[in-house]
């Protein structure tokens, strides 16, 4: 297909064409990708080589204060006039070594074994009572080791900065240029280097509470940290055993994993599509020409989005109870006998249908919200010209509205799909994952992977298994989002308006 043909397609066809080409080109692109990675790695090592060469020559050529800076950070900077900056560098070095020797080394040295028994179990010589054996806390060892590694990387970075600043200052002094005072340095933080000021605090927070836990969780997935190795106790590295368990080697876990993956995907597909279709239909009805009180109708639906989800869901769970509102209502209407009830939440199959229907109730208003915005954006000329060409309402819907909506909303749809895979609230508050199934490993019939993960963590202390599932879910979701992100390329024209 050449460019002219491509441009003539409607947005919808363009999208499918792109999707098709994505898979057609996949092998080629994968090849490119690995080549790219290889080149990046090569470039990385070459870069390191260059860096060593640079610091080597700087060391040989530099003056005496620069040379001392290679051992005592900040020394050269102090000598060259930036005293406070130099002191800060020196303080960093002292603090780092104090931290490593006085504190972190203790843990880092045990990182590979994750600790051992400090004192074996014994009997108290005076009272004759049993003293349980004393062991290292593997969790703490792991956490502090990761912390120590991160601190070391930061330190190396600062060390390099120290040398660079030194070399730059020396250059400036040789050429007789002006050397910034502390006040001037701080001023650049508000202007030329403002990004450093703005990003430092968020980056610190994100590194501590997003990146560190992430590394930490990946590490846990390779250990046997579970209920047999309780808190404060000892556990070991077991390599890929957890991943093997989940896929093949432990029949019960593998079966549970397969069942839950199946149900999670099934749930996500049905939930996303049903919400989308119903939502778009309602949005179309609300936005139809000649319908009055548009905003009233919209507000009515949006109300359910506004109320915090846990409130509506806990309420729904009560209403769907065996003696809850819905069963009472059905009894009043004479559909059910006085003592009969429908097991909305306790029968495996009915429960699945119930959560899907309730999710419809929760999710449709979101679609209405976003679809209304898009419907109002469709250029009116499209409809006018279609009408002039003699198209009826059905044709305009099929040929204009639907393709347009699908095209604009596809990224949002895929995001919703990912959101549904991780839809904790609906399942947890309605059924809690139940009804429990004896054939599954600590899971119920309506459990999604994420609710299983939550229960494994909070109730069953199966931490390493939970971490393994977390990683798998993340890989799946991240791949999906990256594909969407690359297909839409909204990042490309970020400067379109400015």
Tell which positions 22-81 bind other proteins, by CB under 8 A: none
Q: What angle do CA 194, 200, 203 make, to 5 degrees?
A: 135
Q: Helix, strand, or coil here: 135?
A: strand
Pairing between β-strand 130-131 and β-strand 117-119 as defined by DSSP bridges: unpaired
Contacts to other proteins from residues 198-217, by CB under 8 A: 198-199, 201-203, 205-206, 208-214, 216-217
- Near other proteins by CB under 8 A, which window of 18-26, 38-46, 173-181, 191-199? 191-199
Give just the sign of the alpha carbon dihedral 51, 55, 56, 57: positive
Give 81 or 432: the residue with its C-beta nearer to other proteins. Answer: 432
Per-residue contact track with other proteins, 315 to 354, x per CB under 8 A? xxxxx-x-xxx--xx-xx----------------------
- Near other proteins by CB under 8 A, which window of 52-60, 151-159, 188-196, 237-245? 188-196
What is the total residue count of the chain? 498
Q: How far is the CB of 193 from other proteins (least distance, A)?
A: 8
Give 17 or 59: the residue with its C-beta nearer to other proteins. Answer: 17
- Work out whether 2 is an interface residue with other proteins (CB under 8 A): no
Q: How far is the CB of 117 from other proteins (least distance, A)?
A: 22
Q: Helix, strand, or coil here: 125?
A: coil
Q: How far is the CB of 79 from other proteins (least distance, A)?
A: 28
- Work out whether 402 is an interface residue with other proteins (CB under 8 A): no
- Work out whether 312 is an interface residue with other proteins (CB under 8 A): yes
- Work out whether 255 is an interface residue with other proteins (CB under 8 A): no
Compute the half-sphere exposure of residue 474: CA atoms within 13 Å on the CB side of its CA. Answer: 10
Q: How far is the CB of 84 from other proteins (least distance, A)?
A: 21
Residue 392: phi and psi, rounded to 5, are -85, 180
Scored b (16 or more CB within 10 A) or e, 430-439 reads bbbbbbebee
Q: How far is the CB of 121 from other proteins (least distance, A)?
A: 26
Per-residue contact track with other proteins, 430 to 459, x per CB under 8 A? --------------------x--xx--xx-
Q: How many residues lie near other proteins (CB under 8 A)? A: 108
Question: Using CB under 8 A, which of 266, 314, 353, 483 touches other proteins?
Answer: 314
Give 70 or 383: the residue with its C-beta nearer to other proteins. Answer: 383
Contacts to other proteins from residues 272-291, by CB under 8 A: 282, 285-286, 288, 290-291
- Work out whether 260 is an interface residue with other proteins (CB under 8 A): no
Contacts to other proteins from residues 413-432, by CB under 8 A: 418, 422, 424-425, 428-429
Q: How far is the CB of 3 from other proteins (least distance, A)?
A: 18
Q: What percentage of the chain's residues is helix, strand, coil (to nearest 5)?
A: 70, 5, 25
Q: How far is the CB of 322 from other proteins (least distance, A)?
A: 8
Question: Minimal CA–CA distance to 103: which of 151, 51, 31?
Answer: 151
- Work out whether 398 is an interface residue with other proteins (CB under 8 A): no
Give 81 or 419: the residue with its C-beta nearer to other proteins. Answer: 419
Contacts to other proteins from residues 101-160, by CB under 8 A: 139-140, 143
- Near other proteins by CB under 8 A, which window of 19-27, 59-67, 237-245, 409-417? 409-417
Structure tokens at 213: 């836990």
- Near other proteins by CB under 8 A, which window of 45-53, 169-177, 235-243, 297-305? 297-305
């Amino acid at each position: 297909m050449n460019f002219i043909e491509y441009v003539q397609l409607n947005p919808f066809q363009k999208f499918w064409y792109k999707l098709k080409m994505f898979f057609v080109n996949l092998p080629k692109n994968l090849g490119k990708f690995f080549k790219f990675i290889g080149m990046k790695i090569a470039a990385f090592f070459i870069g390191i080589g260059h860096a060593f060469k640079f610091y080597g020559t700087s060391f040989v050529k530099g003056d005496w204060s620069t040379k001392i800076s290679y051992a005592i950070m900040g020394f050269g900077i102090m000598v060259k006039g930036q005293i406070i900056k130099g002191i800060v560098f020196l303080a960093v070095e002292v603090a780092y070594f104090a931290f490593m020797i006085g504190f972190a080394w203790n843990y880092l040295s045990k990182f590979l074994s994750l600790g051992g028994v400090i004192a074996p179990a014994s009997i108290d010589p005076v009272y004759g009572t049993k003293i349980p054996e004393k062991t290292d806390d593997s969790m703490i060892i792991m956490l502090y080791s990761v912390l120590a590694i991160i601190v070391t990387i930061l330190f190396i970075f600062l060390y390099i900065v120290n040398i660079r600043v030194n070399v730059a200052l020396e250059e400036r002094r040789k050429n007789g240029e002006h050397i910034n005072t502390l006040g001037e340095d701080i001023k650049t933080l508000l202007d030329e280097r403002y990004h450093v000021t703005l990003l430092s605090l968020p980056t610190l927070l994100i590194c501590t509470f997003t990146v560190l836990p992430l590394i930490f969780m990946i590490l846990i997935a390779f250990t046997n940290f579970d209920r047999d190795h309780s808190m404060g106790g000892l556990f070991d590295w077991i390599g890929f055993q957890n991943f093997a368990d989940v896929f093949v080697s432990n029949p019960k876990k593998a079966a549970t994993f397969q069942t839950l993956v199946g149900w999670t995907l099934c749930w996500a597909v049905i939930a996303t599509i049903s919400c989308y279709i119903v939502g778009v239909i309602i949005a179309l009805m609300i936005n139809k020409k000649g319908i009055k009180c548009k905003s009233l109708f919209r507000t009515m639906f949006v109300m359910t989005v506004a109320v915090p989800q846990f409130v509506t869901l806990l309420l729904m769970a009560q209403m769907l109870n065996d003696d809850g509102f819905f069963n009472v209502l059905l009894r009043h209407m004479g559909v059910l006998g006085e003592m009969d009830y429908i097991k909305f939440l306790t029968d495996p199959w009915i429960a699945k249908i119930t959560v899907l229907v309730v999710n419809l109730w929760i999710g449709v208003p979101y679609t209405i919200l976003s679809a209304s915005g898009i419907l109002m954006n469709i250029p009116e000329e499209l409809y006018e010209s279609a009408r002039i060409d003699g198209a009826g309402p059905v044709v305009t819907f099929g040929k204009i509205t639907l393709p347009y909506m699908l095209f604009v909303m596809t990224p949002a749809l895929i995001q919703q799909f990912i959101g549904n895979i991780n839809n904790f609230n609906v399942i947890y508050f309605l059924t809690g994952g139940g009804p429990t199934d004896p054939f599954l490993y600590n899971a119920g019939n309506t459990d999604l992977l994420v609710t299983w993960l939550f229960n494994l963590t909070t109730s069953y202390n199966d931490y390493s298994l939970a971490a393994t599932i977390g990683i798998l879910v993340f890989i799946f979701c991240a791949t999906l989002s990256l594909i969407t992100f690359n297909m839409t390329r909204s990042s490309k024209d970020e400067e379109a308006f400015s």
